[in-house]
């Protein structure tokens, strides 16, 4: 009896690693293995030991194969999608010199401002990279390292992103892809290569960086004998270049097939993101002008405070995450970890509009509304890239795709419906990042287009919810508080 081939899609996120065993023909997820890893730090620091990512990958692969009952001989390829922006510095043996600085580490905010000015301001960065440096971008973290830990920077024999680190462990190949590379602020989406002038600006030798593959589905190598032994797989299977987590989610949804502003997406996770696929190169300070993993572009807006911030408010109030109701007069800007959109890296949360009649459920509802408001404001910036009127029928009648852990929560879904006034689609696939990585693995194994593969799998389809009348009163309250509160939420350093 012939063996049905499977591929492995790895989602190495901020707090855990998930590996999906995916039927290469149907796209059906046969099993998902999970393993956690720790994030440490305070006062803006967020760090993880890269070795814990490898340990978690190994554990999640083993758990997934055991649960699926699939024989290792059936696995044809593997790809890693990783959290974006993290700075990994390695010695000559490939060992981490220090914990990785993660995307949500805000210590490099001063370096982001200094680099922006050093090149001549935001417009100069947009012209080269499509994005203006903020504290999340890798170049700012490298600059912070040079200033605060120069000995470590001097000892670095290699500089990697989180997914690059794992791909190299799998294949022995120092490779990345345009999607994840476009979040570094040293890769130019204009010339589709590392920008030598930017590398000189931050004092980074190009020889320390991985080669940029043509796309996330390019086969950059084969699983080494050592990695195969660690993972319980057969050596020689295809290893794809892989990509960043947002780019993999876009592939998993089949984005890229329709063209201009393809399928706007809101992702509700630890952080919140809004993104869409476009053939036009974006260049606006309101968004990160990322590249996609498939040759398209992926303009993206990100907020730091999403499900984690709302869950924290629920914990403080002693409520469950679904024990919420609309905030009424109560307004909260839940900037508990600083904020990226708007760019307030040292911000703290703000609560206003309390009355004697205010209930804990309304305060929790206000936290949901504040987080959703930040995302939807950023979505309006996304429409501006395509010269679309956010209030026009071409936008208001088009469904939003809602993904991420929050999309499984009733209150999150209803809050987005109420504040957006738009129909929603809830894709049926539960592990879109891992599914997208699996499509990249299939592309590497058989030379196929990963978006075509994912589209054939049908991962972007799901339940459709009709639009609700938009809650204009809540929207205008939030707009008014944000407009008048910048001096209150900003912690000037």
| Domain architecture of the chain: domains with CATH | 6-246 (3.30.420.40), 256-427+461-493 (3.30.420.40)
CA atoms in the 13 A half-sphere facing the CB of 256: 24
- 194 vs 188: CA distance, rounded Å: 6
User: Is residue 245 among the annotated active site residues?
Assistant: yes
Average pLDDT per run of 10 along the chain, which is 493 residues long? Answer: 83 95 96 96 94 98 97 97 97 97 94 97 95 95 98 98 98 98 97 97 98 97 98 97 95 73 81 87 85 90 92 97 96 90 84 96 98 92 71 73 92 97 88 95 97 89 92 95 69 46
Give the pairing type, strands 462-465 and 424-427: antiparallel
Residue count of the chain, please give it.
Answer: 493
| Tokens representing residue 79 in the block | 């790809």
Q: Please, what's the b/e burial string for 141-166 (b: 16 or more CB within 10 A of its CB; e: otherwise)?
A: bbbbbbeeeeeebeebebbbbbbbbb
Residue listed under structure tokens 């290792």: 72
Which pLDDT score, from 0 to 100, does residue 487 have?
57
CA distances to 198, 362, 375, 412, 482 from 310, rounded to whole Å, are 37, 12, 14, 10, 18
Cβ distance 81 to 163 under 8 Å?
yes
Task: Please state, as a whole number, how many other Cβ atoms lie within 10 Å of the Cβ of residue 492.
Answer: 5
Give the distance from CA 4 to its chain's centroid: 31
3-class DSSP state for residue 347?
coil
Q: Which two tokens stand for residue 25?
A: 């023909």
For the record, the structure tokens of 61 come out as 């692969």
Alpha-carbon dihedral of residues 6, 401, 468, 335, nearest 10 degrees?
120
Task: Please state the φ and ψ torsions of residue 158, each to the nearest 5 degrees.
Answer: -160, 145
- DSSP letters of 323-361? -----TT-EEE--BTBBTTTTBTT---EEE---TT--HH
| 3-state DSSP helix/strand/coil % of the chain, to nearest 5 | 40, 20, 40
3-class SS of residue 124: helix
Candidates 245, 262, 449, 471; catalytic one:
245
Answer left, alpha or beta for residue 94, where phi above 0 means left and psi between -120 and 50 means alpha: left
Q: What is the pLDDT of residue 343?
A: 77
User: How far is Cα 401 from Cα 387, in angstroms, rounded to an integer?
Assistant: 20
DSSP state of 96: B
Q: Angle CA(9)–CA(12)–CA(15) in degrees, nearest 5?
A: 140
């Amino acid at each position: 009896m012939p063996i049905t081939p499977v591929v492995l899609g790895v989602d190495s996120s901020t707090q855990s690693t998930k590996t999906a065993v995916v039927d290469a023909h149907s796209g059906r997820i046969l099993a998902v293995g999970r393993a956690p890893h720790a994030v440490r730090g305070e006062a803006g620091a967020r760090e993880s030991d890269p070795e814990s990512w490898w340990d978690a990958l190994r554990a999640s692969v083993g758990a997934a194969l055991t649960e699926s009952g699939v024989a290792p001989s059936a696995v044809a390829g593997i790809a890693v999608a990783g959290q974006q922006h993290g700075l990994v510095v390695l010695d000559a043996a490939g060992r981490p010199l220090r914990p990785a600085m993660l995307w949500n580490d805000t210590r490099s905010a001063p370096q982001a401002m200094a680099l922006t000015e050093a090149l001549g301001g935001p417009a100069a960065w947009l012209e080269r990279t499509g994005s203006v440096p903020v504290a999340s971008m890798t170049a700012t973290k490298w600059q912070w390292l040079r200033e605060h830990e120069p000995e470590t920077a001097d000892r670095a024999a290699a500089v990697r992103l989180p997914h690059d680190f794992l791909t190299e462990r799998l294949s022995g190949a120092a490779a990345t892809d345009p999607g994840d590379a476009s979040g570094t602020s040293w890769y130019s989406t204009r010339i589709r290569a590392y920008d030598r002038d930017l590398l000189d600006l931050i004092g980074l030798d190009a020889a320390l960086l991985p080669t940029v593959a043509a796309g996330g589905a390019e086969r950059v190598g084969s699983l080494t004998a050592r990695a195969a032994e660690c993972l319980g797989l057969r050596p020689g299977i295809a290893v794809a270049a892989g990509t960043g987590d947002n780019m993999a989610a876009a592939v998993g949804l089949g984005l890229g097939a329709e063209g201009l502003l393809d399928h706007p997406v809101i992702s509700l996770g630890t952080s919140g993101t809004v993104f869409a696929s476009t053939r036009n190169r974006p260049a606006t300070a309101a968004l990160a002008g990322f590249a996609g993993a498939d040759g398209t572009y992926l303009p993206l807006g990100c907020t730091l405070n999403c499900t984690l911030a709302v869950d924290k408010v629920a914990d403080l109030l002693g409520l469950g995450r679904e024990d919420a109701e609309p905030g009424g007069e109560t307004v909260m800007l839940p900037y508990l970890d600083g904020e990226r959109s708007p760019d307030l890296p040292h911000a703290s949360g703000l609560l206003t509009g309390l009355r004697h009649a205010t209930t804990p459920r309304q305060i929790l509802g206000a936290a949901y509304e504040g987080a959703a408001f930040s995302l939807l404001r950023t979505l309006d910036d996304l429409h501006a890239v395509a010269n679309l009127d956010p209030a026009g029928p071409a936008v208001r009648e088009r469904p939003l795709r809602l993904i991420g852990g929050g999309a499984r929560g009733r209150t999150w879904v209803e809050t987005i419906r109420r504040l957006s006034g738009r129909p929603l689609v809830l894709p049926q696939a539960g592990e879109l990042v891992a599914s997208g990585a699996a499509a990249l693995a299939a592309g590497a194994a058989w030379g196929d287009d990963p978006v075509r593969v994912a589209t054939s799998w049908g991962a972007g389809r799901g339940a459709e919810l009709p639009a609700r009348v938009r809650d204009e009163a809540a929207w205008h309250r939030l707009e008014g508080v944000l407009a008048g509160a910048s001096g209150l939420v900003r912690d000037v350093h």
